[in-house]
Amino acid sequence: MSVLPPPGAGEPALVAVGIDRRAAGVERLAALNRTRRDEILAAWPVPGTGLVTLSTCHRLEWYVEARDVEAVLAAYHEWLPAAAPGEPRVRTGRDAAVHLLRVAAGLESAVLGEDQILAQARDAYRAACANGRSAPLLHRVFHAAFRAGRRVRGETTLAAGTRSLAGAAVAALHRRLGGLAGKTVLVLGAGEMARLAVRLLADRNIGRLVVANRTASHAQVLASRYGGETLPWEWRLGVLPVVDGVVAATASPVPVVDAGALAFVSAHRSSPLVVADLGMPPNVADHRVPRVEVFDVEQLGVLLHEEEGRRAAAVADAEAIVEEEAANWAAWHRSRLLRRSCGAARAAR
């Protein structure tokens, strides 16, 4: 295992600080994730540092290039005062790099090998760059993470089968509806999760695909790409009695399908409506009624356990790729520290 030399005085270090579903649970994460990423990036209070914030259904982590770890922790607690005693988890140097590479590879996901996290990491990195929060260590380690993620998905079977929550949602609808041929499915949202669900639905030869989003132009672009149609956002509840399934994947902080709508559906259907709720916090009100079957994020995760078992054999191969890419990053970092140290020594002569 490659070991980095300790940074010299004032040298920046890579720091990873955050919590995940295992430490916090999805409900607390949903509450904490309401903090807007762009607001954190714009108001980041630690000068001379780089910052990438990775916020998903299952983790809230900051990757920082900083000289003062305590200042980073203070900023984290200032933005997220709801952290419990003992939180957050802090990693530095090579440990931080390995963790990010494992995250991008899908080794830390609720679903082994899920592919959405790689896109989420890219989005987080691009947001940091757009806000002027990028830095050399972060550039290098995130590109190493992207490379590791691509290699794991291309060189191993870790990502075989259903491997994302969106994939689990589509699989659940397919199973409960007896196939999707001839069925009508309404997708609420046009963000990353919704786009993945729409693509997977199209791959299953869906009978009729309908997309509704608050921004109609986004829905139109998504629907047209996969041969679907759009519905005005205001009509979404009115069509629930006549569609077969729903995938709800918006970023709304409150339910977009309320208890009254569920009660109306229950009273006006003869066959069950199957709903996959991918929202965090939930897009569908917690209101159990006859003839409406709702799968939430937790339930969809349970449905993936069988797939995880089949992928477990590929974990060793994926971890070997992560170790190789981490060693390459560590070698680059060690060389950088040595060059800076030699430069400082020459300047002092």
Q: Which residues does the annotation mark as catalytic?
A: 57
Structure tokens at 287: 């209101």
CA-based angle 54:56:61, to the nearest 5? 35
72-96 as b/e: b if 16+ CB within 10 A: bbebbeebbeebeeebbeebbbbeb
Residue 235 contacts by C-beta under 8 Å, 6 or more apart in sequence? 212
Burial track 315-332 (b if 16+ CB lie within 10 A, e otherwise): beebbebbbebbbebbee
- H helices, E strands: number in the chain: 13, 10
Distances (CA, A) of 281 to 118, 221, 249, 293, 324: 21, 25, 10, 18, 37
Using DSSP's 3-state secondary structure scheme, residue 176 falls into helix
**CA 58 to chain CA centroid, nearest Å:** 7
Backbone angles phi, psi at 310, to 5 degrees: -70, -30
Strands 50-55 and 59-66: antiparallel
Q: What residues pair up with 248 in beta bridges, in sequence order? A: 188, 277
